[in-house]
Structure 1
Amino acid sequence: MSSLLLTPPTGSTAGRLAEAAAVDAAGPRKRRLADRITRLVETATTPLLPADYLDLVAPLRAGADLRGRVVSVEPETADAATIVIKPGADWAGHVPGQYVRIGVDVEGVRHWRAYSLTHGPRRDGLISVTVKAVPDGKVSNHLVHRTQRGTMVHLEQAAGEFVLPADEHGVTPESHRRLLFVTAGSGVTPVVGMLRNLFPSTDSGVLRPARSQELDIVVVHVAPTQPDSIFLRDLQALDAAGAISLLARYDDEHGVLDVDALGQLVPDLDDRTTYACGPGGLLAALEAHHAAKGLPLQTEQFRAATVVAGEGGTVHVAGQEIEADGATTVLDAAESAGVLMPSGCRMGICMGCVLPLKEGAVRDLRTGEVTAADAMTGPMNIQTCISAAAGACHLDH
């Protein structure tokens, strides 16, 4: 029988089915061929992977670990600088007031720190953070004094709730149009990001877009001395343009800010929504003051809070909150609550129970040593089979 008799007429239903079957049959062959090519390339590049070589030539490409290249380091004060970064293709953007966690390799060890973004979305796609070098700060001193143009850093996506509410057009709701910003030291950085977005600066001066016309903003900015005041020129320019009313307070001139006297500085304090960022002591005083008066307040702490370790606490894992005492391991407490935890301990497989501690503190029951994590330090891997809650702790699982 002629093979032509076995070939369905072109364009017929039978013909289309035959073509589809041929494609389906070829699919597995193509996949096997691709798998063989991949294995061949991986063998040729061992011990590295092909992606490792791509990282050398295109580290900011889509699909790679999120990184950024330092474009410039711009001094702000003697111990502070703005780091301008070109983020990788997978950077998802941010809302003014949010922060980004940056991973920096110092002496062969990768350290993560969180820094507020100091601007709104930029047309050039760049991002920037302003870092103040703190005494004995390994990462901050490295970024301010030793980072050079072209340096690669690791990034995470922007996060944080210290943002102004806005509709789809960027217009602030009426309830947040009379604002008070209280900032201290480098706590001004997220606020500057908000203000730059609300009132862009150009060569012709500060602009007041229609979406910002109805805003009435007072900024109480505190610094040890005027030379130590980060972004003072920006704040003064906004004040001169009538975009904000600036009340600058310097410890060496005015003394330490008395929160209880804030109403004297800002007579219409009761009519404003307050956003505050600065050291923990200032924020605690503001929280007590505003709570007593029933005033709205949103805060952001720019330095890591001191974790006070206790005996036991609430373990947050897999969407559950589990109360655990100081003598029960996180692993046992979670499993007793019905959480399926990774573990090979009982089969003699060590390190199978390791999970990232995102926030809080745990105590090593063998040594008594406390491990603490927060947004500044980044997640810390812990062994849940030997660690007990030392206060509230949040695990990534």
Structure 2
Amino acid sequence: MTIMETDIPELSEPNSFGLQNGRPAAVRSRRNLEPCWAESDVMDLVCSQVLAVTHDVKTFVFTTPDRRPFDFEAGQFITIRVEIDGELMTRCYTIASPPTRPDRLAITVKRVPDGVVSNWLHDNLEPGNWISMHAPAGAFVLPEEDAPKYLFLSAGSGITPVLSMTRTLYDLGSEADILFVHSARTPADIIYRGELEAMARLMPNLRVAEICEGDAPTERWMGLQGRISKPVLEILAPDLEERETYICGPAGYMAAAKSLLEELGYDMDKYHEESFDFGAPEVPAPTAAPPMEQDAEEEAAAGFSIEFARSGKMITCGPDETILEAAIAAGMRPMSACGQGMCGTCKVSMLSGEVDMKHNGGIRPKEVANQKVLICCSKPLGDIQLDC
């Protein structure tokens, strides 16, 4: 769903990120300013607000130094770059704010045990601090034309992309029938519980169902208890087949929910999922070739030469491995995050050569035309030279 300036209601400036005193305000784009990231894929943004959402979740709100508007689609994510103990680290986070409020961009981050970046953000990032951020990316977005009915399924911090979608539909006064089903450990772990329930009170076509595994220390849970299940889906969504489904959460939750939908005979063409199980790409272990194939294997094993023009380094990349895998195997540490061709963090200019690039939306057509490549999903077709 592309948000046009004429779609955004002209309301007063909101007092905070969440709902206050009824319907949240949506801010019009500034006509005379180019949107953020129009000139560069990486921008330095200033943290303008830090909000404690639950006992282990915070929202970080960012603005541009020159107050440029943000341009993205609900459901997309950004990649941040932070230096921790002298090491540059990258992480992908879904944008929690809606594009209907283009004066700000927010990410909602759960503190993960032993999570280096999430703990650093919780403990160190304060209003006034600066952070580097890559342009929004991702294809987990609403359809161009509003669907008549939606089913949003989320668990834990996977709520953020569908929360952005819900905020967007709310701001625009969408008439779509929205069923939002969120799963959490306890009621104290429901992210933006108050806002979701307030939106449901103010938006007759929005239903919010929360499922908790148990009670919180200070609250006995009186709602749906346990986990997402076939009977629960059948009760909540008897019209399931009519709904466009968007789902995000931990891998186990998503696998279980997808299996339930398939068991119910749901049309999976209307199924959309997002997962942020991003990690360092694994370098495939070598396997022995049959004797009759060894000559061909040995010839191919020589691979292609990859020259990193700026650093002066040269490595060899096999025909069946990505440039990123080869670089890591050679002891290099190029910038990367998702490893799936989604976030754009590993984007570089190719000075010569050809690659087979199978990306997932992390690079734009005009960038491909200008010889940009994502090294995490590019395999060389010959010797190449990179501008890095």
TM-score (norm 2): 0.62
Q: 1:156 to 1:166 in 2, by over 3 A?
A: same
| Alignment of 1:304 onto 2:278 | yes
3-state SS, counterpart of residue 119 of structure 1: coil
What is the identity, as a one-letter code, of the residue corresponding to 1:70? C
3-state SS, counterpart of residue 352 of structure 1: strand
Which among 67, 91, 103 is matched to residue 113 of structure 1? 91
| Alignment of 1:271 onto 2:242 | yes
Contact 2:76 2:141 in 1 (8 A): yes
3-state SS, counterpart of residue 166 of structure 1: coil
Q: 1:1-397 alignment to 2 at 5 Å?
A: 65-87=42-64, 93-122=71-100, 125-167=103-145, 172=146, 176-200=147-171, 209=173, 212-213=174-175, 215-241=176-202, 242-252=204-214, 254-258=225-229, 261-292=232-263, 293-295=265-267, 296-304=270-278, 310-311=284-285, 332-333=302-303, 335=304, 342-343=306-307, 351-353=313-315, 364=329, 373-374=339-340, 379=346, 394-395=377-378
Give the whole-Å Cα distance in 2 for the aligned partners of 1:144 and 1:88.
Answer: 22
Contact 1:111 1:377 in 2 (8 A): no
Q: 1:75 to 1:376 in 2, by over 3 A?
A: farther
What is the identity, as a one-letter code, of the residue corresponding to 1:195? T
What is the identity, as a one-letter code, of the residue corresponding to 1:221? H
Is there any run of 5+ residues in structure 1 with no aligned partner, and where?
A: 1-59, 201-207, 314-326, 336-340, 382-391
Give the whole-Å Cα distance in 1 for the aligned partners of 2:378 and 2:50.
Answer: 35
3-state SS, counterpart of residue 131 of structure 1: strand
Give the C-alpha shift of residue 235 in structure 1: 1.0
3-state SS, counterpart of residue 97 of structure 2: coil
Give the whole-Å Cα distance in 2 for the aligned partners of 1:330 and 1:380.
Answer: 26
Give the whole-Å Cα distance in 1 for the aligned partners of 2:227 and 2:55.
Answer: 22
Alpha-carbon deviations, 1:323-370, whole Å to 9, x = none?
Answer: xxxx8799844x4xxxxx53499xxx972238996887998389xxxx
What is the identity, as a one-letter code, of the residue corresponding to 1:301? S
Contact 2:41 2:134 in 1 (8 A): no
Give the whole-Å Cα distance in 1 for the aligned partners of 2:325 and 2:151.
Answer: 31
Contact 1:87 1:127 in 2 (8 A): no
What is the identity, as a one-letter code, of the residue corresponding to 2:234? G
What is the identity, as a one-letter code, of the residue corresponding to 2:63? K
Contact 1:185 1:230 in 2 (8 A): yes
Give the whole-Å Cα distance in 2 for the aligned partners of 1:82 and 1:227.
Answer: 16
Identity of aligned residues (%): 26
Give the whole-Å Cα distance in 1 for the aligned partners of 2:378 and 2:48.
Answer: 35
Contact 1:100 1:114 in 2 (8 A): yes
Larger RCO, structures 1/2 (Cα 8 Å, 6+ apart): 2
Q: 1:310 to 1:246 in 2, by over 3 A?
A: same
Larger helix percent: 1
Contact 2:42 2:135 in 1 (8 A): no
Give the whole-Å Cα distance in 2 for the aligned partners of 1:194 and 1:257.
Answer: 21
Q: 1:66 to 1:225 in 2, by over 3 A?
A: same
Give the whole-Å Cα distance in 1 for the aligned partners of 2:326 and 2:212.
Answer: 36
Contact 1:98 1:160 in 2 (8 A): yes
Q: 1:395 to 1:61 in 2, by over 3 A?
A: closer
Q: 1:269 to 1:156 in 2, by over 3 A?
A: same
Q: 1:108 to 1:294 in 2, by over 3 A?
A: same
3-state SS, counterpart of residue 187 of structure 1: helix
Give the C-alpha shift of residue 250 in structure 1: 0.3
Between structure 1 and structure 2, the one with the greater Rg is 1
Alpha-carbon deviations, 1:193-224, whole Å to 9, x = none?
Answer: 11111112xxxxxxx62xx12x0010110000
Give the whole-Å Cα distance in 1 for the aligned partners of 2:233 and 2:307.
Answer: 54
Give the whole-Å Cα distance in 2 for the aligned partners of 1:113 and 1:180.
Answer: 28
Q: 1:223 to 1:101 in 2, by over 3 A?
A: same
3-state SS, counterpart of residue 134 of structure 1: coil
What is the identity, as a one-letter code, of the residue corresponding to 1:68? L
3-state SS, counterpart of residue 377 of structure 2: strand
Aligned length: 285
3-state SS, counterpart of residue 353 of structure 1: strand
Give the whole-Å Cα distance in 2 for the aligned partners of 1:77 and 1:186.
Answer: 11
Contact 2:71 2:99 in 1 (8 A): yes
